[in-house]
């Protein structure tokens, strides 16, 4: 047992106490960890991507505005590409459908034309035969015309006769067409018809509408197209209680042929080679006109 002097043991005890407190403080500091809040589902903007081949940047790296811009920058090119691809495909499909529909119409018209005979020339009648038309049982058209010596006027009159003959031959309601030479039969007409002919600057066209007791006669303007003329006849006869109709597809095809022939005659006029185009139907007129047009082109100096 040690014998201590006064005060020595007390200082030693205090020193031991301080040393113990220092050791405890160091141990506690060594074991102390700062708890930082963890951001869930949040990645560093500059960290390496988990998938290097990814097309889009991970949305957790971006702000809300950056995510919207990324979606727009990807979506718009895709929409533009799909639109650019769809428009040509749609146009080609539309043309294909129209071509198929057109082919079906052509086949239908050809079948109709096979059933019908080639239109015959409009029958020429005299004043005495006009009286018999009062008792007709089907709609009848009578054309009063003056023969002309001018080739251009003759072509126009010939085209009128051919158009009426083609309309009469179209499948549908029956229609008779006659023509009367005014120059030969004028003196045999009644006074009312003479006055009507004098007032007409072009060919006078009458429509004879069959009725129970006596037919009704009314004047119509010369046809501009097959479709419009048939529509006018349908309305006119319908008002008088007579049903009338023609095949719409075949009538529309007549208009196409009519435009082709008119264009050919116009080209002849522009070439300064107006000549009489013979024929009593569209097929003959078209062939003859193109034949004259080609021959005139060959004769022109190069």
Mean pLDDT of the chain: 80
Q: Is 219 helix (H, G, I), strand (E, B) or coil?
A: strand
Would you say residue 133 has pLDDT above 50? yes
Angle, CA 41 vertex, CA 38 and CA 45 arms, to 5°: 90
Q: Which of residues 4 and 167 earns the better pLDDT score?
A: 167
At residue 4, the pLDDT reads 52
How many CB atoms within 10 Å of residue 70? 15
At residue 36, the pLDDT reads 46
Kind and range of the H or E element at 10?
helix 8-31
d(CA 266, CA 259): 10
Would you say residue 119 has pLDDT above 60? yes
For the segment 263-284, the average pLDDT, to the nearest whole number, is: 83
Most confident region among 5-9, 75-79, 206-210, 268-272 by mean pLDDT: 206-210
Would you say residue 83 has pLDDT above 50? yes
At residue 106, the pLDDT reads 63
d(CA 68, CA 88): 31
Name the nearest CA neighbour of 153 among 164, 145, 143: 145
pLDDT band at 104 (very low <50, low <70, confident <90, very high): confident
| pTM (two decimals) | 0.59
Judge contact between 289 and 263, C-beta under 8 A. no
How many CB atoms within 10 Å of residue 253? 22
At residue 293, the pLDDT reads 81
For the segment 201-218, the average pLDDT, to the nearest whole number, is: 88
Angle, CA 255 vertex, CA 250 and CA 256 arms, to 5°: 95
At residue 238, the pLDDT reads 92
At residue 298, the pLDDT reads 55
d(CA 263, CA 224): 14
Tell me which of 44-58, 119-133, 166-180, 194-208 is least confident: 44-58
Distance of CA 137 to the CA centre of its chain: 41
At residue 116, the pLDDT reads 47
pLDDT band at 137 (very low <50, low <70, confident <90, very high): confident
pLDDT band at 24 (very low <50, low <70, confident <90, very high): low
At residue 175, the pLDDT reads 92
């Amino acid at each position: 047992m040690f014998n201590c002097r006064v005060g020595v043991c007390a200082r030693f005890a205090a020193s031991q106490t301080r040393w113990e407190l220092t050791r405890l403080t160091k141990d506690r500091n060594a074991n102390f960890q700062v708890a930082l809040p963890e951001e869930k589902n949040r990645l560093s903007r500059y960290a390496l991507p988990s998938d290097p081949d990814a097309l889009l940047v991970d949305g957790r790296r971006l702000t809300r505005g950056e995510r919207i811009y990324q979606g727009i920058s990807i979506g718009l090119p895709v929409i533009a590409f799909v639109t650019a691809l769809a428009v040509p495909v749609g146009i080609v499909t539309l043309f294909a459908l129209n071509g198929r529909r057109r082919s079906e119409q052509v086949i239908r018209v050809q079948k109709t034309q096979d059933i019908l005979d080639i239109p015959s020339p409009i029958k020429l009648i005299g004043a005495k035969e006009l009286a018999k038309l009062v008792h007709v049982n089907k709609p009848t058209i009578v054309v009063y015309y003056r023969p002309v010596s001018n080739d251009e006027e003759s072509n126009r009159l010939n085209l009128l006769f051919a158009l009426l003959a083609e309309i009469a031959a179209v499948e549908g309601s029956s229609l008779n067409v006659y023509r009367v030479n005014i120059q030969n039969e004028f003196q045999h007409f009644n006074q009312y018809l003479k006055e009507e002919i004098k007032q007409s600057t072009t060919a006078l066209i009458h429509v004879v509408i069959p009725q129970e007791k006596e037919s009704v006669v009314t004047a119509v303007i010369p046809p501009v197209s097959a479709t419009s003329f048939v529509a006018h006849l349908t309305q006119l006869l319908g008002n008088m209680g007579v049903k009338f109709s023609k095949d719409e597809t075949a009538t529309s095809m007549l208009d196409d042929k009519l435009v082709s022939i008119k264009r050919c005659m116009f080209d002849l006029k522009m070439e300064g080679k107006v000549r009489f185009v013979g024929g009593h139907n569209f097929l003959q007129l078209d062939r003859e006109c193109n034949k004259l047009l080609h021959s005139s082109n060959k004769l022109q100096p190069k």
